[in-house]
Chain A
Amino acid sequence: GQQLNQSPQSMFIQEGEDVSMNCTSSSIFNTWLWYKQDPGEGPVLLIALYKAGELTSNGRLTAQFGTTRKDSFLNISASIPSDVGIYFCAGFRGSQGNLIFGKGTKLSVKP
C-alpha cells in the first residue's frame, strides 16, 4: 500500500531549540496535513497544506508543501515543554476517504 516515510522517529531536544521533521513519499499528494497527538487523546490538526510550494504558519509552527508534491516539512521554533507529543504527517491523493498517515515523530523536550 501507499506509504509515507516520516523522520526522524524520535527527537530529544532542549527547551528553546528549534525542531524540524519531514515526510516523504514515492507518490504525489494533493494535500498534506500535520497533526499532533497527546497521550490518551486523538490527533489534533495543526496545519493543512493544499498547494505545492505553500508555506503556512500556525504560531510557532511552520509547514511547507514540497514543490515536487512528494514531501512536506514541519518546523517548530523555540520549543516549549507542552510541545511534547507525537507529530503525524498525513497525505491525501483525492479519493473520497483515504488519508494516509506517517508513522509519527515522537518529540521530547527537556526543560
Chain B
Amino acid sequence: NAGVTQTPKFRVLKTGQSMTLLCAQDMNHEYMYWYRQDPGMGLRLIHYSVGEGTTAKGEVPDGYNVSRLKKQNFLLGLESAAPSQTSVYFCASSSRPPGTVSNQPQHFGDGTRLSIL
C-alpha cells in the first residue's frame, strides 16, 4: 500500500547542475501536484497535472519543468539549480480537484530534501 512515493529522499547539488525528482502514485489518481515547502512559508504549488499528458503552472513555477508521460508518474525537473531552490519538495495526488465535494483528499509523499550549494 505505497500511496505516493518520492525519489530521491535527499540530494545535494551544486549551483548549475540539473536533476529530476520522481513522484509515483499507485492509486490511479488523475491529479498530481508538486509543492515546495520553505521554513515559515507553508506549501506553495509549483506545477500540477490534471491528467496524463497535461501540465499547468502553479504559484511558483519559474526555474522548474514538469512532465506527465504516464498517469502514475509526475516528474519535476530543475534544469540549472540555484541556491534559492533549496527546499523540501512534496508531491501529492488526488482523484478529483481539492475543491470537489467528494471528500477526496490530496495524498502527499514524504518529501525530497534538496540542498543547492
Which A residues have a C-beta under 8 Å from some C-beta of B? 1, 4, 6, 30-31, 33, 40-45, 48, 50, 88, 90, 92-94, 96-104
| Measured CA separation A43–B98 after assembly (Å) | 14
Across the interface, A92 reaches (CB within 8 A) one of B31, B56, B90, B99, namely B99
B92 on the A face (CB < 8 A): yes
Complex interface: chain B residues within 8 A of A40 (CB): 110-111
Complex interface: chain B residues within 8 A of A41 (CB): 110-111
A97–B50 touching, CB < 8 Å: yes
9 closest A-B pairs by CB:
A42-B108, A97-B48, A45-B105, A101-B42, A92-B99, A31-B99, A101-B43, A103-B42, A50-B101
Complex interface: chain B residues within 8 A of A90 (CB): 43, 98
Across the interface, A43 reaches (CB within 8 A) one of B43, B45, B59, B101, namely B43
